[in-house]
Amino acid sequence: MTFPQFALGALTLLPLLGAAAAVVLPHPARRITGVVTAVVIALLTVPVLVTVTSGELPELVLGGFDAPLGIHLRGDGLAAVFLGVTSLVGLILTGYAAILPKSTGTFLSATAWVPGHPGFWPLWLGCWSGLNAVYLSGDLFNLYVALELVGLTAVALVALGGRKSWEPALRYLFVAVLGSLLFLAGVGLLASVTGTLDLQQTREALGGLEDPTPALLALTLMTIGLGMKVALLPMHRWLVPAHSSAPSVVSPILSGLVLKAALVVLLRCWLWAVPVLAGAEWLTWLLGGLGTAAVLAGSVLALRQDRLKPLVAYSTIAQIGYWFLAFPLLLPGENDDAELASGAYGAVVALAAGHAIAKAGLFTAAGFLKDRCGTDEIAALRGAGAHHPTLILAMGLCAVGLLGLPISLGFTGKWQLATAAVGAEHWWLFLVLAAGTLLSAGYLLRGIAPLLMQAEVDDNTPAANPVTVRERTGELAVLLLGVATLATGLLGAWVSTMLEVGSWW
């Protein structure tokens, strides 16, 4: 067994081991366990990325039992890109949570609500384990189990935010479980007509099938289920309360990483498990339409928010729309233009990866201000930027990524999407992209500009308290995310080469 193969298994199992260790340890030791595990995971990502860059596909047959009986782990291009992004964002957020424990939620002691939740550490490590499991899995049922691991820990992480977060957490639980049950129903339907659970074998078996209706129904079920988990427009209403009431280090995890897990599974279903089906066009157009609606409605709703965290959460809903805009271009149409499809696919991945980093940064910054000033009402935060120049700089860098300005992965993604739209003569896409960009400029300005206003804060408000060294270090972590937003913009070509490995075309 080679080292990259070892890493494939270890990327899932070691964080789970870390989570188990954290359950039995006291609070300070949990923090150390968390940081150590995060560093180890980030190091283990490197061999996988190196192998994929060299054009090889690392694959591990767990237990030596071949598919369809056993489970294969495949570190293909899609997995590698998201492993890399998750390790980067995860490592920075772990550091942030270790430096500023109060960002991890509040718990009830014998007498009062105490900031700094010890339950964060096992749940976050478990969530990370589930994320890596989703990216690497090559088996439909295993994808379901991994999605549930992510969903359960995500719900529990929301609930760490104290009383006000319990109802959003429960609502999130209902949606997340219903979504995965619909996904499982689709898996069962596919298995009944193919006789296998492995992704590649499913594709081969479906290719030989005459009647596309069962596969189409399965794809529809899975898409609805995963659409709930990604919070695509009509199924988005759980997201805003859950993401904005979560503790401040949890919101970036949810918006940046957890949503991507469902997106990856959706791409796996559409592009890997199911071959191009006759009759799937209406579904792609439906998704494209919902994506358009999400970009517009999400942005408009974000413009109308008075508080910072809900504003950022609505911006997530708008950004989710971009990923679905590409769906009508994603399947090679009548003219079998595979290049177009791969361009659209690259655009989705670049947009999602860029969003993961930039949104994590922006949400962490919003949470930082909320923790420090005790509120996230934009009016009350006027002038808060005067004490936090680093933070404001970081927020600006992240905003560049969310707007899709050069240089950022968001720009790469929009560029690729526009190129594909030209190739397919889908001119409406330009209108949506332009409108979305203008609107996002509007809401980002509305969120960030008041922070820069001349301060009219009284001296006795929390915002005027001296900034501690820990808080300064936390701001640096956010700045790191902002810098990463731009730095990853230079890696667009690398991402494209990686996506070639183990791709479906």
Partner 1 sequence: MISLIDVVLGLGVLAVTGLSLIPRSRLVMTLGFLVLGVLIALVWLRLDSLDVALAEAAIGTGLLSGLMVWLAVRSPLPPGAGAMETSPRIPWLRPVVGTAAGVSLTLVLAAVWLRAEHRLPEWRDAAEAQLPDTGVEHQITGVLLAFRAYDTLLESGILMLTAAAVLALSRDGGLSAEGSHRLGVHQIAAPMPPVPSALSWAARLLAPALVLLGLWLLFAGSTDSGGAFQSGAVLAAALILLRASQVDLSGFTAYWLRPLLVVGVVVFICAGLIGPVLGLPWLSWEPEWAFAAVLSVEVLLTAGITAGLYTLFLALENPEGVR
Partner 2 sequence: MDFGMDTITWYLLIAAVMVIFGMVRLLLVRDLLARLIALDVTGIGVLLTLVALAARSDATDPVLQALVITGLVIAVAFTGLGAVLIRRIEGQQDDPPGGDAP
Task: Give the Cα-Cα-Cα angle 216, 217, 218 (nearest 5 degrees).
Answer: 90
Nearer to partner 1, 250 or 365 (CB): 250
Nearer to partner 1, 54 or 109 (CB): 109
94 or 196: whose CB is closer to partner 2? 196
Per CB under 8 A, contacts with partner 1 among 4-63 are 5-6, 9-10, 12-13, 16-17, 19-21, 23-24, 26-27, 60-63
Chain centroid to Cα 344, Å, comes to 19
Query: Closer CB to partner 1, residue 153 or residue 316?
Result: 153
- Which residues, 6+ apart, have CB-to-CB distance to 169 below 8 Å? 155, 156, 158, 159, 161, 242
Binders in 202-231 for partner 1, by CB under 8 A: 205, 209, 211, 213-214, 217
Q: Given the complex with partner 2, which of 163 and 470 has the nearer CB atom?
A: 163
DSSP one-letter code for 383: T
Nearest to 53 by CA among 487, 424, 370, 498: 498
How far is C-alpha 395 from the chain's CA centre? 18
Of 186, 184, 203, which is closest to residue 277 (Cα–Cα)? 203
Report how far residue 188's alpha carbon sits from residue 185's, in angstroms, rounded to the nearest whole number.
5
Cβ 442 to partner 2 shortest distance, Å: 32
Task: State the DSSP H helix or E strand holding residue 31, giving kind and residue range, or none if neither.
Answer: helix 27-53
Query: Does residue 305 bind partner 1 (CB under 8 A)?
Result: no
Q: Applying CB under 8 A, which of residues 194, 299, 408, 440 lies at the interface with partner 1?
A: 194
Token pair recorded at residue 463 = 């915002």
Which is closer to partner 2, CB of 17 or CB of 185?
185
Indicate which of partner 2, partner 1, none lies near residue 181 (CB less than 5 to 8 Å, by partner kind): partner 2
146 sits near partner 1 (criterion: CB under 8 A): yes
Distance CA 146, CA 136 (A): 10
H or E element: which one contains 183?
Answer: helix 163-194
Query: Taking the complex as a whole, how short is the minimal distance between the CB of residue 162 and partner 2, in angstroms?
Result: 4
Choose between 7 and 498: whose C-beta lies nearer to partner 1: 7
CB of 325 to partner 1, least distance (A): 28
Report, in Å, the least distance between residue 208 CB and partner 1: 10
Query: How far apart are the C-alpha atoms of 325 and 316, rounded to whole Å?
Result: 15
For the CB of residue 504, give the shortest distance to partner 2 in the complex, in Å: 25
- Tell me whether residue 126 or residue 291 sits nearer to partner 2 (CB atom): 126
Closest approach, Cβ 167 to partner 2, in A, equals: 6
Angle between helices 163-194 and 140-158 (to 10 degrees): 170
383: left (phi over 0), alpha (psi -120 to 50) or beta: left
DSSP output for 310-330: HHHHHHHHHHHHHHHHTHHHH
Is 141 among the residues that bind partner 1 (CB under 8 A)?
yes
Q: Residue 240 and residue 259: Cα distance in Å, rounded?
A: 13
Compute the least distance from the CB of residue 494 to partner 2, in Å.
37
Q: What are phi and psi of 113, to 5 degrees?
A: -85, 125
Q: Counting every residue, how long is the chain?
A: 505
Residues that bind partner 2 (CB under 8 A): 69, 106, 112-113, 115, 141, 145, 148, 152, 155-156, 159, 161-164, 166-167, 169-170, 173-174, 177-178, 181-182, 184-185, 188, 191-192
CB contact at 8 A, 492 and 81? no
326 binds partner 1 (CB under 8 A): no
Contacting residue, 109, 335, 454, 460, with partner 1 by CB under 8 A:
109
Choose among partner 2, partner 1, none what residue 178 binds, the Cβ cut-off being 5 to 8 Å by kind.
partner 2
Residues 6+ apart with CB under 8 A from 406: 489
Sites of contact with partner 1 (CB under 8 A)? 1, 5-6, 9-10, 12-13, 16-17, 19-21, 23-24, 26-27, 60-66, 68-71, 107-111, 117-120, 122-123, 126, 129-130, 133, 141-142, 145-146, 148-149, 152-153, 155-156, 159-160, 163, 189, 191-196, 201, 205, 209, 211, 213-214, 217
